[in-house]
Amino acid sequence: MDHDAVVRKKMTEKYLLDELDPSTRDEFEEHFFDCAECAVDVQAGSTFVEGARSVLSEARTVVPVKHGWLAWLRPIYAAPALALLLVIVGYQNLVTYPALRQASSHARVLPWASVNVGTWGSGGPVITTRPGEGFLLFVRIPPESGYSHYTADLYDPAGRLEWSLTIPASSTQDQWPIQVPPANRVSGSYSLVVRGITPGGQSKETGRATFDLQVQK
């Protein structure tokens, strides 16, 4: 898939909104596996969508709506939500996007692997990195209902929790691009444990995946 066509047709936005047909979606996923710029766009877009959903959820909690969705058009309800969304948009444009764009400007594409949470077994993909380098995980989570969001916890070869990330629950998207930040890691078998969080705050492990990290010095 040609990168210029991806940009021209706004496929990143359509991918996040689940507006691509299955065959085009598969082609786009194959493309951003090898395209650092598109991978960054997908990650930034996913972060924005999660932030917007969180803001709207908080706005509904602070200002209950009793007259249907049209009540959101009233200023008393719309103003707080729009103000919070503007803060998110401003932060994304001024801080998150420039930082991610700068990271993607380097010639080297981050190492990556695709992992399926819920696939049990000792085998897994191998990711080769340099010391202090981050990497990408394309995580496929089996869709389940009843969760407001997920948490993804990365454990090092010694079983210590190294890093965590919140993933929004979506009925239309089961694969999420996750950028694991740089750190001084050692070679070995790492585990990614995904837990579903209910609206009431209850946590349940939905699956885990393992992969081997090889740090080349």
Same structural domain for residues 73 and 160?
no
**Per-residue pLDDT tens digits for 64-82:** 544 454 454 455 445 555 5
Q: How far is CA 90 from the centre of its chain?
A: 20
Segment of 90-104, 108-122, 188-202 carrying the highest mean pLDDT: 188-202
Which of 83, 104, 125 corresponds to the end of one domain?
Answer: 104
**Per-residue pLDDT tens digits for 198-216:** 999 999 999 899 999 999 9
Two structure tokens written together for 172: 């239309």
Same structural domain for residues 98 and 116?
no
Same structural domain for residues 129 and 47?
no
Same structural domain for residues 199 and 182?
yes
Same structural domain for residues 182 and 203?
yes
For the chain, percent of residues with pLDDT exceeding 70: 64
What is the residue-averaged pLDDT of the chain?
Answer: 75
**Per-residue pLDDT at 20 exceeds 90:** no
CATH number at residue 120: 2.60.40.1930
| pLDDT, mean of residues 96-108 | 53
Q: What is the C-alpha to C-alpha distance for residues 63 and 58, in angstroms, rounded to an integer? A: 8
Which of 86, 104, 122 corresponds to the end of one domain?
Answer: 104
Q: What is the C-alpha to C-alpha distance for residues 45 and 159, in angstroms, rounded to an integer? A: 31
For residue 97, name the pLDDT band (cuts at 50, 70, 90).
low
Q: What is the C-alpha to C-alpha distance for residues 214 and 111, in angstroms, rounded to an integer? A: 11
Half-sphere exposure of 158 (CA within 13 A, CB side): 5
Non-local CB neighbours of 35 within 8 Å, separated by 6+ positions:
3, 6, 109
Q: What is the C-alpha to C-alpha distance for residues 72 and 98, in angstroms, rounded to an integer? A: 32
State residue 90's pLDDT score: 55
Half-sphere exposure of 152 (CA within 13 A, CB side): 25
Q: What is the C-alpha to C-alpha distance for residues 131 and 183, in angstroms, rounded to an integer? A: 8
Which of 104, 125, 147 corresponds to the end of one domain?
Answer: 104
Q: What is the C-alpha to C-alpha distance for residues 166 and 164, in angstroms, rounded to an integer? A: 7
How far, in Å, are 8, 29, 66, 121, 170 from residue 116 at the CA level? 31, 15, 41, 11, 16
| pLDDT, mean of residues 115-132 | 80
Same structural domain for residues 17 and 86?
yes
CB 177 within 8 A of CB 32: yes
- The C-alpha angle 106, 107, 112, rounded to 5 degrees, equals 90
Domain assignment of residue 150, given as a range:
112-215
Top-confidence residue, 140 or 65: 140
Same structural domain for residues 85 and 142?
no
How far, in Å, are 48, 163, 180, 199 from residue 43 at the CA level? 9, 17, 11, 24
Work out how many domains the chain is built from and give that number.
2
**Look-up: residue for tokens 């585990």?**
191
**Per-residue pLDDT tens digits for 32-51:** 667 767 777 776 666 666 65
For the chain, percent of residues with pLDDT exceeding 90: 29
Same structural domain for residues 140 and 75?
no
Same structural domain for residues 133 and 85?
no
